[in-house]
Amino acid sequence: MPFREKSAWVMAAIIAITAGLYAAMVGTLPSAVPALPVVIGFVVALAILSVFGQIAIAVLSPKDANAAADERDRQVTQRASSIAGTVLTCGVVLALGTYVIGHGGSVMFHAVFASLIVAQFCEYALTIWFYRRGV
């Protein structure tokens, strides 16, 4: 399994876990107000888990971790990023729609934040899929 695919697996799992925790915390808030401590906690947890996850897979395969990206790696990354960008764009447009129909800025904030999370998860999931598919 290529190092970048391992990295995508680790990051997809970390995003799924932290996003689930974030959604659970936001769901228990009394209002839809963006709670800065919850957002900061999510970002910090994601960063810490990402660092430890990447270090773990780099320690297990140091030769692969230092290898330069080949043509296949660049193609997989480019295709996954392109599609994830489209997912992000659609999510932001829908989030703006929540504001237009009168749900206010707090709902829009959470919708944009969710769009960022979903787009990044899609990028990692597509990276895995493209490696498995043989792109």
Enumerate the domain spans of the chain.
3-133
Share of the chain above pLDDT 90, in %: 61
Q: How confident is the model at residue 32 (pLDDT cuts 50, 70, 90)?
A: low
Give me the mean pLDDT over the 24-31 stretch. 74
* Long-range contacts formed by 118-122: CB under 8 A, 24+ apart: 118/87, 118/88, 118/91, 119/84, 119/85, 119/87, 119/88, 119/91, 120/11, 120/15, 120/84, 121/12, 121/15, 121/16, 121/19, 122/80, 122/83, 122/84, 122/87
Condensed to tens digits (0 to 9), the pLDDT of residues 57-72 reads 999 988 888 888 889 9
